[in-house]
Structure 1
Amino acid sequence: MASEVDEIVQKANELIARTAARYERSSRRLARTRKDLMTRLKRMILAVATVLIGAAIAGFVLGGIGTTGVLLVLGLLVACLAFAFIPTLETVVEPGRLAQADLKTLPLKTEIWLDSQRKALPAPAIPILNAIGNRLETLAPQLARLDPAEPAAVEVRRLLSDHLPELVTGYQSIPAPLRNQPRNGRVPDAQLVEGLSVIEQEIATMTQQLASGDLDKLAVHNRYLELKYQEARDLGH
């Protein structure tokens, strides 16, 4: 009886974990979709405004734009609608392209690529993918301010564009029936989960190190301000 209860509890926990992971993933997708739609809308409005202002200036200078001009303006306005249908975010990212990605876009592209790999990975790996996604969202603004030539940037790029894809694609290259079978004392499913956990922790460490650098800079700047204002107060006396 106890074993049956334990099994029911375990299944319930797995269901809760899957539901939470699905909700978390959907929330991130929704946020990216909303940002994409807003960017499209702003781009379309800017294009329409440009056409209308240009038509108004031409009409003022030329004393009118005539029937041909009106048709041209209408055609340009219709063309502006195309901006609402051109996505601004990539939906598919090939692992080979991660190495060529700009440092500031690398976390998002890595997250998009990882999201497309979920169905091909074992269930225990999914919570770790979610954790990596959260880490990447935290890391992204830090990388946007980081010089790509700095050693820290090189290490981040190597981790996200080399080690992570190699781990996932290496696992996927193993035939499905052999992924949960021991080989030389190791099980590929378990090795994948362990490797993803190491990468997740490494991203966390990199984020903390970059944050420490920012905090140190902030402390130095605050100390500078304190000394400067103290000097100003002394002079005021």
Structure 2
Amino acid sequence: MSRSDRVLADAEAVLRRHSERGQSLTARARQRRNAGLLRKIKYAFWAILAVILGSAVAGFVMPLGTTGIMVALGVMIAALLLIGLLPTETRVRTEALAETPLTALPLQTEIWLENQRKALPAPAVTLVDSIGVKLEILAPQLERLGPQDPAALEVRRLLADHLPELVTGYQSIPQPLRREERNGRVPEKQLVEGLAVIDAEIARMSESLASGDLDKLATQNRFLELKYQEAKELGQ
């Protein structure tokens, strides 16, 4: 096996281990919703506590009476209703992806994909899950790239341009026509094929970035081995 083949094999092994640890897009979305629900419960707790403490302080100054108690209850109910209106999950606008910093782009793209999930056919949803896992792997790799690095620009084009355009283009087609052949093309099939290409491209990007790290590590190891050999020769 050549050195380049060995580096690629090592990179694939690293990606495979990460994939095995990765959760599905749905599972991570559920975690975010649960975290949002927990925040709402905390807000509700502090709102109720604030009303109770405010009422207690006001009661020391003057008796609240029936009217005061009703006002306090009204404030408490209004606060709970407002908290109930808060979203439990993050929403990401399509336009916002283009303005997202590179290191945050994989997570924002994952959340955006989860938002589109209900409007996609079953085969596409399977690919969306696969893309979500690969985005989780890609995210820490992007921290070492500069915003204007060729690899960074390639990632941004794929996640902020090509992927949203593919999905929103499909969604713009009326529901009855999505499985109808037109000019030799079926929109639903085009969507699935496009997502498969993007899924493979994200994997390729991760492999390339991992290969670069392994190349760098191999160079550093050779340098250390050379210095170690020089030190041994000096000691003789």
2:150 matched to 1:151?
Answer: yes
Give the match for residue 123 of structure 1: 122
For 2:196 and 2:205, locate their aligned partners in 1 and report how far apart those are by CA, in whole Å.
14
For 2:166 and 2:215, locate their aligned partners in 1 and report how far apart those are by CA, in whole Å.
34
Residue 138 of structure 1: how far off its partner (Å): 0.7
Residue 26 of structure 1: how far off its partner (Å): 3.9
2:49 matched to 1:24?
Answer: no
- Preserved CA contact (<8 Å) 2:29 2:114: no
TM-score normalized by structure 2?
A: 0.65
Give the match for residue 96 of structure 2: 97
Alignment CA distance shift 1:220-1:32 (3 Å): farther
Give the match for residue 136 of structure 2: 137
Provide Cα deviations, 1:147-188, integer angstroms capped at 9, x if missing partner. 111101000000000000000001110011100111011110
Superposed, 1:182-197 pairs within 5 Å as 182-197=181-196
In terms of mean alpha carbon deviation, does 199-208 or 226-235 score higher? 226-235
Larger RCO (CA under 8 A, 6+ residues apart): 2
For 1:105 and 1:196, locate their aligned partners in 2 and report how far apart those are by CA, in whole Å.
21
> Is there any run of 5+ residues in structure 1 with no aligned partner, and where?
1-22, 41-84
For 1:33 and 1:133, locate their aligned partners in 2 and report how far apart those are by CA, in whole Å.
16
For 1:142 and 1:25, locate their aligned partners in 2 and report how far apart those are by CA, in whole Å.
19
Give the match for residue 80 of structure 1: none
Give the match for residue 53 of structure 2: none
For 1:229 and 1:119, locate their aligned partners in 2 and report how far apart those are by CA, in whole Å.
59
- Matched to 2:27, the amino acid is S
Structure 1 consecutive aligned stretches of length 4 or more whose deviation exceeds 6 Å: 33-37
Alignment CA distance shift 1:186-1:151 (3 Å): same
For 1:146 and 1:36, locate their aligned partners in 2 and report how far apart those are by CA, in whole Å.
31
For 2:129 and 2:146, locate their aligned partners in 1 and report how far apart those are by CA, in whole Å.
27
Give the match for residue 108 of structure 2: 109
Residue 196 of structure 1: how far off its partner (Å): 0.5
For 2:30 and 2:125, locate their aligned partners in 1 and report how far apart those are by CA, in whole Å.
19
Superposed, 1:196-235 pairs within 5 Å as 196-235=195-234
Identical aligned residues as a percent: 63
Alignment CA distance shift 1:193-1:205 (3 Å): same
